[in-house]
Amino acid sequence: MFTSLSDRLTGTFANLRGKGRLSESDVNKTIRDIRMALIDADVALPVVKEFTSAVRERATGAEVSGALNPAQQVIKIVNEELVGILGGNTRELTLAKRPPTVIMLAGLQGSGKTTFAGKLGARLKEQGHTPILVAADLQRPNAVTQLEVVAERAGVSVFAPERGNIGGHDAGAAGEGTRSFGDPVSVAREGIAHAQSRQHDVVIVDTAGRLAVDADLMQQAADIRTAISPDEVLFVIDAMIGQAAVETAQAFQQGVGFTGVVLSKLDGDARGGAALSVARTTGRPIMFASTGEGVRDLEVFHPDRMASRILD
């Protein structure tokens, strides 16, 4: 991730080293190089434009300061602008003053929601919380079972609707409660009531995704949101989908609305454009980065550290 972008930018800055002051053509060439590097990394065009014009404005006006040579100054500016594009400050989860905190997950099918539910559950448990996962993805027959498996791996409880005619019993070792396999809104509501009765302080509600943005799916997720008024709605997006990330994120932002973004599959060879575009184009912070299939492959997203990683 970001290797190519990082190499390109480092190369650009190397060309500036040793220069006593930056001519207009130095600045122009640098901006052009940055622009191409961002476009090749799949960053959305409006974000590229905003970024390069901010860098241009600041680099052109920058005085040669005593402490920093021109190259260092440009790197500093690019770094600061990158941090800004990535959302500025690290944003922590908002926990409800009166538990349980309800966290709803939304996103396309295959984006990594279920996997993330387990990771977040494990992380919260490690921090001393008592999370429970709620299986409100009733679209795919396997989704409920998958969440149960994920919960078991993460060592957290799960609330799952009852399947087929299995009839009224517990979902298994990891399962705590079951209800009839009905509509996802009822399951989400029942899951929260169940969590309250068992003193779970965080409820993570997994919802259904489809392979592409779809009106029914949006409506279902929006209905769940209205019914359960979550403290956080986290939109999970696969970093590998590149340019499509922005459009998908905007569709979910309009259709459901979310409070934060989870970038998944950052361990893959995605070029990084999604990460650099989604926060800015939706106005919502990236809160977590999912970096593998294991329960522990989760990082809190720090814009400043990510920017440093890119510019290292």
- Known binding residues: 107-114, 206-210, 264-267
Indicate whether 268 belongs to the interface with ligand GDP (CB under 6 A).
yes
Smallest separation (angstroms) from ligand GDP to the CB of 5: 19
Token pair for 74 = 């440009």
Is residue 293 near ligand GDP by the rule CB under 6 A?
yes
CA distance 45 to 51: 10
Distance of alpha carbon 194 from alpha carbon 28, whole angstroms = 61
Residue with smaller CB distance to ligand GDP, 192 or 262: 262
Q: What share of the chain is helix, strand, coil (3-state, %, to 5)?
A: 50, 15, 35
Interaction of residue 267 with ligand GDP, rule CB under 6 A:
yes
> What is the number of alpha carbons within 13 Å of residue 50 lying toward its C-beta?
14
3-state secondary structure of 283: coil
The least distance separating ligand GDP from the CB of residue 252, rounded to whole angstroms, comes to 12
Using CB under 6 A as the binding rule, whether residue 291 contacts ligand GDP is answered as yes
Q: Is 290 in the site for ligand GDP (CB under 6 A)?
A: yes
**Per CB under 6 A, which region of 10-18, 191-199, 225-233, 284-292 contacts ligand GDP?**
284-292
Residue range at the interface with ligand GDP (CB under 6 A); choices 42-50, 108-116, 212-220, 276-284: 108-116
Helix-then-strand count for the chain, H and E:
11, 9
Provide the minimum distance between the beta carbon of 108 and ligand GDP in the complex, in angstroms, as a whole number: 7
**Binder among 115, 248, 259, 277 for ligand GDP (CB under 6 A):** 115
Give the shortest CB-111-to-ligand GDP separation in angstroms. Answer: 4
One of 131, 191, 209, 303 touching ligand GDP (CB under 6 A): 209
Cα 271 to Cα 33, 39, 154, 267: the distances in Å are 16, 10, 30, 11
**Binds ligand GDP (CB under 6 A): choice among 110, 139, 186, 250:** 110
Number of CB atoms found within 10 A of residue 138's CB: 20
CA distance linking residue 295 with residue 181, whole number of Å? 27
| Helix axes 303-311 and 3-16, enclosed angle (nearest 10) | 60
Between residue 20 and residue 79, which ones bind ligand GDP under the rule CB under 6 A?
none
Residues that bind ligand GDP (rule: CB under 6 A) add up to a total of: 18
- Residues near ligand GDP, by CB under 6 A: 107, 109-115, 209, 264-265, 267-268, 290-293, 297
